[in-house]
Chains A and B, each alone.
Chain A
């Protein structure tokens, strides 16, 4: 009887240890995180719509129904990435996520003149760019992120149905390109 009790107590202690190990390993081995889902839907440096409007189930869930969103994956090891989207919409905001889906930087349309033009780069690339800033990057927002792989997400507000075509066009014409320097 005492042996049984001993075994159960040992089991419970083990359960605690397993709980902690599993919890810490879930992010490492998850195949359902945002990056993996996007990877299944499209290639690197390709803007992909996240909302259901583009047809099919939404790639990444939990997007506000009054919002459209688009995302592209990038790898800063290849070079810095430039994201642009032309046009005027009531509200847009941008988040940069790292490989595991954690938000590393965010900004919205108040930070600029209204046009979305942004460059994501590593601190080392930033030093290089600062030495001689090219003309066409003068107005861009520089996001310095100490990451390699990442996700760039644009969210845009759709106040009512009449805005749907405009906001769709804004996101569909968005570009996500490897910038030569």
Chain B
């Protein structure tokens, strides 16, 4: 009798613990259902719309996100460089390549919660397309690091994991058909402060 009760208790513990824990884990990971990957960049075009999957809906409710609308823009997040390594704040990177059609774009270095990296200086860890210098073929080369660099420089500071968030505003690629032949810039690791 006691054995049966213990077994029932075990089943219940696995069901509630496992069920709740797996939801918590699924909502914590950055990758998810409904993601579109282009190179190292990931976007969730459906997040924050009534058409989103249950995981995105739960994430929106839990984190209080107000996602950009289709007519506003589309955000891409990168957490790894072209070599497949995680982005780190103590490393320097080069972001280079062409950018898809948009009225303008912004790029910023983000921490784990996707807020902008606090640099402790007057300069924001963010760039936008009106202020960047372009190559003759209209592509852009951006140096990322804590030391000033010639050309376009995105300031980062500190140590630990980092994400790049690239947002295109008023862009045709936000409609789902536009996403098929989009290329985004590559993220190349230059070196790291040990």
Q: Which residues of A contact B (CB under 8 A)?
A: 3-4, 6-8, 10-19, 21-24, 26-27, 30, 32-34, 36-37, 50, 60-62, 64-67, 71, 91, 93-95, 97-98, 100-108, 110-111, 151, 153, 155, 157, 159-160
Contacts and interface: CB of A to CB of B under 8 A. Distances in A.
B61 A97 contact: no
A141 B135 CA distance: 40
B62 A26 contact: yes
Contacts of A19: 18-20, 22-23
Given A16-B19, A108-B170, A11 B72 contact: no
B12 A33 contact: no
Given A16-B19, A101-B48, A23 B12 contact: no
A65 B17 CA distance: 38
| Top 8 A-B pairs, shortest CB-CB distance | A106-B69, A18-B19, A14-B15, A11-B14, A15-B18, A27-B61, A30-B61, A65-B116
Given A34-B64, A101-B61, A159-B128, A23 B55 contact: yes
A102 B49 contact: yes
A33 B58 CA distance: 10
B12 A106 contact: no
Contacts of B10: 4, 7-8, 11
A5 to B, nearest CB: 10
A111 B126 CA distance: 28
B103 interface: yes
Contacts of B103: 91
19 contacts: A7-B7, A7-B10, A15-B14, A15-B18, A16-B19, A21-B19, A22-B23, A23-B23, A30-B62, A32-B62, A33-B61, A61-B113, A62-B65, A65-B116, A65-B126, A91-B169, A102-B48, A102-B49, A105-B69
Given A8-B14, A11-B12, A18-B16, A64 B60 contact: no
A171 B103 CA distance: 21
Nearest to A161: B122
Interface string B55-97: 1011011111111111111000000000000000000000000
B15 A18 contact: yes
A6 B116 CA distance: 50
Interface of B: 3, 7-8, 10-20, 22-23, 26-27, 48-50, 52, 54-55, 57-58, 60-73, 103-104, 106, 108, 113-116, 124-126, 128, 130-131, 165, 167, 169-170
Contacts of A32: 61-64
B12 A14 contact: yes
Most buried by A among B14, B50, B73: B14
A117 B23 CA distance: 42
Nearest to B106: A66
Nearest to B53: A23
B113 to A, nearest CB: 7
A13 to B, nearest CB: 8
Contacts of B106: 64-67
A27 B9 CA distance: 29
Contacts of B126: 64-66
